[in-house]
Chains A and B, each alone.
Chain A
Amino acid sequence: MTQTRLDTNFLDYAILAIYFIVVLGVGFAARRYIKTSLDYFLSGRSLPAWITGLAFVSANLGATEILGMGANGAQYGVATVNYYWIGAVPAMVFLGLVMMPFYYGSKVRSVPEYLRLRFSNSSHIFNSITFALGTILIAGVNLYALALVLELLLGWTILTGIVVAAVIVLIYITLGGLSSAIYNEVLQFFVIIAALIPISVIGLHALGGWSGLSDKIEKTKLGEAGLHALQGTAPGHVTNPIGATWIGLVFGLGFVLSFSYWTTNFAEVQRALSAKNLSAGQRTPLIGAFPKLFIPAITVIPGLVALVVVPKLGSDTGTLAYNNAIPLLMNKYLPNGMLGIALTGLMASFMAGVAANVSAFNTVVTTDIVEPYIQRDRPDAYYVRVGRIVTVAGMIVAIGTALIASGYSNLMNYLQALFSIFNAPLFATFIIGMFWKRSTPAAGFWGLVAGTTAALVTYIGYKWAGWFSFGSDLDESFWGAGAAFVIDAIVTVAVTLFTKPKPVEELQGLVWGMANVDESARKPKWWESPQLLGFSALGIGAVLTIIFW
């Protein structure tokens, strides 16, 4: 079974159509409540933690993630879990427990706005522009990936796919702003899960459960090594399928890449900022961490199953690329009906990714570029209108950046390269700014500029100029991110030593030891304690890592 074109019928399309109608209905209903710009950009800071928490994880559950992790499951085996238990959960817990009090407590509306308060306008402008640019490039990747899948599964042309998806996302975000993006993300979360669980269950059933699957994996090209998370990662004696040492995994993946993505990517942090109080804001990434712990069960297992049941998976020819692991299984196992749910889940996850990027983009362009620097002191309604116009413009530009993405054969690697340029330097600046009161406004700006330049030079030097060579594209993005982080940190510290710090009283609510206290909050129940949630998530992650060692 190597056919990827799905055997869809009327029923499957009806299920997909119902979903679109509900999604658009959410947009129209949300529109009735948009009265101020805070409503539009931060849902009026009113959402309960379970909603923002699921939206937080769902914003990351784009289809590049799902198809990519399925592909990694088939290519690297169980070691893919490192992307979750080492590469995501610790950073999410850190965001919730350590960084959220400053983000939420200082009442900023966006990640760049924190830089304006903590450092200066120059670092604010620099970061707002690079963020807007990075986000719109990433939105393009998601759009293009969606179009690829639609072509593969349904035979739609690439352009039809891009335009249909863009129009639907555009309608519901333009109407309802962040509220409808977040509500739809939560809805998407459940549909995506409902789509993936049956594939794992059927796959495991067909191969005789986990033990049957492991026996068969040992006979594939992955072999025994495909069944372990961290075995064979000792430096000098690397035998695991990813080909990385534990040092690379823990510091590269687990620290630099993951912390910079989860803690400074506004598309994620925005979900937590829209929570109704500090406690809910803190719990947003922590509640998100629990589903994240178990998502590998429904992405990695299908990848492993596909490796066993699809002969020659991973060959370069035609439809057998690793990226098609999950679509191939859908076609092999799912009857009409369930197939419609799975198709809807994939479409939903693509729209989740695009919507997260676009809603973060319109917030940053409106509240961080237009409002402070271009059109000040206009009535609030003016900014809501600007937000809507920016959404439309952003979507049109994203269609353009989708065409840039179409020039890359491996989208996951292109995405990682973008993260290394746009996110990694930011994390160094944030962590120093939050924990070192002395670090100066000038240092914030020059650190960011130097870090971003370092990642950019690494990328250009590898990709076009031929100054550096790395093992693979993925290896380049790891080194690029590392260089950005280190150089940003060195420049920030060096410039601080020669420039004048901000007066300490201006740093209230922004730095470690001076967090604002939320006085209006009621006393949280014991099960709402962020510490309890955070350490439980870390504990479960550690236990799971040891089980699959």
Chain B
Amino acid sequence: MSEDNRRDDELINRTESAEAEKGGGRELEAANLFDLRRIIGGLFVLYGAILTITGLFDTQAEIDKSAGVHINLWAGIAMLVLGGLFLVWAFTRPLGEQLAKAERESEEARARSGGDR
């Protein structure tokens, strides 16, 4: 599990440095917690791998138990895919950038509504 911790720490450092760069407000800082998408992705990839490997070595008796559905294998693959999708989402749209963008947009909106008055 040291790997998980290291990954979390790395995430924390990254979000913290992203915060420092833009010097965002309290709310944004809190939003930076750490990216839930990576945690879900990581857990499901791990579970998926465990089930897929278990599934590959399932005996016929185990397959018969689940009414002939090779459930460890299929569920394992499905979980790998789901976990993978979360990881792709998290890495293609990193939290830090999204937050900066959201802040810019809300500032623009604030400026606009201020101007209307």
**Per a CB cutoff under 8 Å, which of B8, B29, B110 touches A520?**
B110
- Taken together as a complex, chains A and B put the C-alpha atoms of A26 and B8 apart, in Å, by 9
- A267 interface residue, CB < 8 Å from B? no
- B108 interface residue, CB < 8 Å from A? yes
Those of B56-76 within 8 Å (CB) of chain A:
58, 62-63, 65-69, 71-72, 75-76
A interface list, Cβ under 8 A from B: 11, 14-15, 18-19, 21-22, 25-26, 29-30, 32-33, 35-36, 38-39, 43-47, 51, 179, 183, 186-187, 190-191, 194, 197-198, 201-203, 205-206, 276-277, 332-338, 341, 519-523
Instruction: State whether B27 touches A335 (Cβ < 8 A).
Output: no
- Taken together as a complex, chains A and B put the C-alpha atoms of A201 and B68 apart, in Å, by 11
**Per a CB cutoff under 8 Å, which of B27, B39, B71 touches A45?**
B27
- B54 interface residue, CB < 8 Å from A? yes
Q: Output the least CB separation between B55 and chain A (Å).
A: 7
Instruction: State whether B71 touches A338 (Cβ < 8 A).
Output: yes
Q: Output the least CB separation between A180 and chain B (Å).
A: 9
Instruction: State whether B12 touches A39 (Cβ < 8 A).
Output: no
- Taken together as a complex, chains A and B put the C-alpha atoms of A19 and B39 apart, in Å, by 11
- Taken together as a complex, chains A and B put the C-alpha atoms of A26 and B39 apart, in Å, by 9
Instruction: State whether B75 touches A198 (Cβ < 8 A).
Output: yes
Given A44-B31, A187-B43, CB of A335 within 8 Å of CB of B71? yes
- Taken together as a complex, chains A and B put the C-alpha atoms of A36 and B27 apart, in Å, by 11
Q: Output the least CB separation between B63 and chain A (Å).
A: 8
B interface list, Cβ under 8 A from A: 1, 4-5, 8, 11-12, 26-34, 36, 39-40, 43-44, 46-47, 50-51, 54-55, 58, 62-63, 65-69, 71-72, 75-76, 79, 82, 102, 105-106, 108-110, 113
Q: Output the least CB separation between A208 and chain B (Å).
A: 10
Given A186-B36, A522-B106, CB of A205 within 8 Å of CB of B27? no
- Taken together as a complex, chains A and B put the C-alpha atoms of A91 and B82 apart, in Å, by 30
- Taken together as a complex, chains A and B put the C-alpha atoms of A32 and B30 apart, in Å, by 10
Chain A residues within an 8 Å CB radius of B27: 44-46, 276
Instruction: State whether B30 touches A39 (Cβ < 8 A).
Output: yes
- Taken together as a complex, chains A and B put the C-alpha atoms of A276 and B105 apart, in Å, by 14
- Taken together as a complex, chains A and B put the C-alpha atoms of A47 and B34 apart, in Å, by 11
- List, sorted by A's number, 13 A–B pairs whose CB atoms are closer than 8 Å: A21-B4, A22-B43, A25-B4, A183-B39, A187-B40, A190-B82, A198-B75, A206-B67, A332-B65, A334-B66, A335-B66, A338-B75, A522-B102
Chain B residues within an 8 Å CB radius of A187: 36, 39-40, 43
Determine which residue in A18, A21, A335 has the highest number of CB atoms from chain B within 10 A of its CB, and name it: A335
Instruction: State whether B12 touches A29 (Cβ < 8 A).
Output: yes
Chain B residues within an 8 Å CB radius of A198: 66, 69, 71, 75
Instruction: State whether A522 touches B105 (Cβ < 8 A).
Output: yes
Given A51-B36, A337-B55, A338-B51, CB of A205 within 8 Å of CB of B67? yes
- Taken together as a complex, chains A and B put the C-alpha atoms of A247 and B84 apart, in Å, by 47
- Taken together as a complex, chains A and B put the C-alpha atoms of A11 and B29 apart, in Å, by 39
Chain A residues within an 8 Å CB radius of B31: 44, 46-47, 276
Chain A residues within an 8 Å CB radius of B71: 198, 201-202, 333-335, 338
- Taken together as a complex, chains A and B put the C-alpha atoms of A421 and B44 apart, in Å, by 40
Determine which residue in B32, B47, B55 has the highest number of CB atoms from chain A within 10 A of its CB, and name it: B47
Chain B residues within an 8 Å CB radius of A197: 75
Q: Output the least CB separation between B33 and chain A (Å).
A: 5
- Taken together as a complex, chains A and B put the C-alpha atoms of A277 and B39 apart, in Å, by 24
Instruction: State whether A15 touches B105 (Cβ < 8 A).
Output: no
Instruction: State whether A25 touches B36 (Cβ < 8 A).
Output: no
Chain A residues within an 8 Å CB radius of B32: 33
Query: Residue on B with the closest CB to A21?
Result: B1
Chain A residues within an 8 Å CB radius of B108: 522
Given A46-B27, A190-B44, A337-B54, CB of A201 within 8 Å of CB of B69? yes
Query: Residue on A with the closest CB to B114?
Result: A519
Query: Residue on B with the closest CB to A523?
Result: B109
Query: Residue on B with the closest CB to A39?
Result: B30
Query: Residue on B with the closest CB to A522?
Result: B105
Q: Output the least CB separation between A508 and chain B (Å).
A: 18
Query: Residue on A with the closest CB to B109?
Result: A522
Instruction: State whether A22 touches B44 (Cβ < 8 A).
Output: no
Chain A residues within an 8 Å CB radius of B12: 29, 32
Instruction: State whether A519 touches B113 (Cβ < 8 A).
Output: yes
Instruction: State whether A341 touches B75 (Cβ < 8 A).
Output: yes
- Taken together as a complex, chains A and B put the C-alpha atoms of A32 and B34 apart, in Å, by 10
Instruction: State whether A337 touches B72 (Cβ < 8 A).
Output: yes
**Per a CB cutoff under 8 Å, which of A46, A179, A338, A520 touches B109?**
A520
Query: Residue on A with the closest CB to B99?
Result: A46
Instruction: State whether B30 touches A186 (Cβ < 8 A).
Output: no
- Taken together as a complex, chains A and B put the C-alpha atoms of A522 and B104 apart, in Å, by 9
Instruction: State whether B65 touches A46 (Cβ < 8 A).
Output: no
Q: Output the least CB separation between B49 and chain A (Å).
A: 11
- Taken together as a complex, chains A and B put the C-alpha atoms of A39 and B62 apart, in Å, by 48
